[in-house]
């Protein structure tokens, strides 16, 4: 069996951000090691016939940039990223949570539209396995934000209204996947984020995501 290259394109839950009450003054943060991140679990589950390529970035959105921080829009970096790692058999997209931030004032329709732009860039490329066609796409709809009682005061302001919007990810992302002929996986059915910050995966969450995604990937390449 030839080696299959899989790009995991996501945000802080792909980067491996450890759930903490974030200190906005010191910007303190911690990152899980590769073997603890869901991408590392995915690599272990799939074995040596697969090469897992991590592209997780804290704060990454689908297609919108922060007014004071550049380079976090998923669409702005995607094409060079695909080119850099080509040939690719599959791109796994796990985005949408940061689009919920109040600073962007986005509706769920806006967020689905941003995901659609990500898909278009991939499907318009020739960075697939034979460098003549686009890679396959798996949309991994992210785990829901927890009830706002788990968010600290700063995050309540940052994600005001986001909990309810996140409950509609499955509805809109599954419909989008169907229209765009992408594979789809609803992580919220089986995975919850940590109660520590109501936003990020803990070690158990990473393990569950890695194993669920591995099962889906195996089914895609049967």
Strand partners, 207: none
Residue 45: closest CA among 81, 86, 13, 6: 6
Look up the CATH number of the domain holding residue 96. Answer: 3.40.50.1110
pTM as predicted? 0.95
Q: Is the pLDDT confidence value at 21 over 80?
A: no
Q: What is the model's pLDDT at position 150?
A: 54
Print burial letters for 190-220: b (CB count within 10 Å at least 16), e (below 16): ebbbbeebbbbbbeebbbbbbbbbbebbeee
Distance of alpha carbon 114 from alpha carbon 112, whole angstroms = 5
**What is the arithmetic mean of pLDDT over 189-209?**
94
| Mean pLDDT, the chain, whole residue set | 93
Domain range for 183 is 4-220
Per residue in 83-132, pLDDT (tens digit) is 999 999 999 999 999 999 999 999 999 999 999 999 999 999 999 999 99
Phi, psi angle pair for 12, to nearest 5°:
-65, -25
Share of the chain above pLDDT 70, in %: 94
Q: What is the model's pLDDT at position 106?
A: 97
Q: What is the model's pLDDT at position 34?
A: 98
Per residue in 127-175, pLDDT (tens digit) is 999 999 999 999 999 999 876 665 656 666 788 888 899 999 999 999 9
Domain count, the chain: 1
**What is the arithmetic mean of pLDDT over 12-22?**
89
Q: What is the model's pLDDT at position 33?
A: 97
Share of the chain above pLDDT 90, in %: 82
């Amino acid at each position: 069996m030839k080696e299959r290259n899989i790009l995991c394109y996501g945000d802080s839950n792909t980067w491996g951000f450890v759930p903490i009450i974030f200190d906005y003054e010191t910007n303190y943060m911690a990152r899980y090691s590769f073997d603890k991140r869901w991408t590392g679990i995915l690599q272990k589950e799939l074995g040596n016939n697969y090469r897992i390529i991590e592209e997780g970035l804290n704060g990454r959105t689908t297609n919108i940039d922060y007014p004071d921080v550049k380079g976090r829009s998923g669409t702005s970096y995607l094409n060079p990223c695909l080119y850099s790692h080509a040939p690719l058999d599959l791109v796994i997209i796990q985005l949408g949570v940061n689009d919920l931030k109040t600073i962007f004032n986005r509706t769920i329709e806006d967020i689905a539209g941003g995901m659609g732009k990500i898909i278009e860039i991939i499907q318009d490329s020739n960075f697939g396995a034979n460098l003549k066609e686009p890679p396959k796409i798996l949309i991994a709809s992210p785990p829901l934000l927890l009830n706002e009682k788990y968010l600290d005061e700063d995050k309540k302001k940052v994600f005001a209204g986001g909990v309810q919007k996140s409950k509609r990810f499955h509805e809109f992302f599954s419909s989008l996947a169907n229209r765009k002929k992408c594979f789809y996986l609803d992580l919220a059915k089986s995975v919850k984020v940590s109660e520590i910050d109501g936003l990020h995966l803990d070690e158990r969450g990473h393990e569950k995501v890695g194993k669920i995604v591995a099962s889906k990937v195996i089914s895609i390449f049967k």
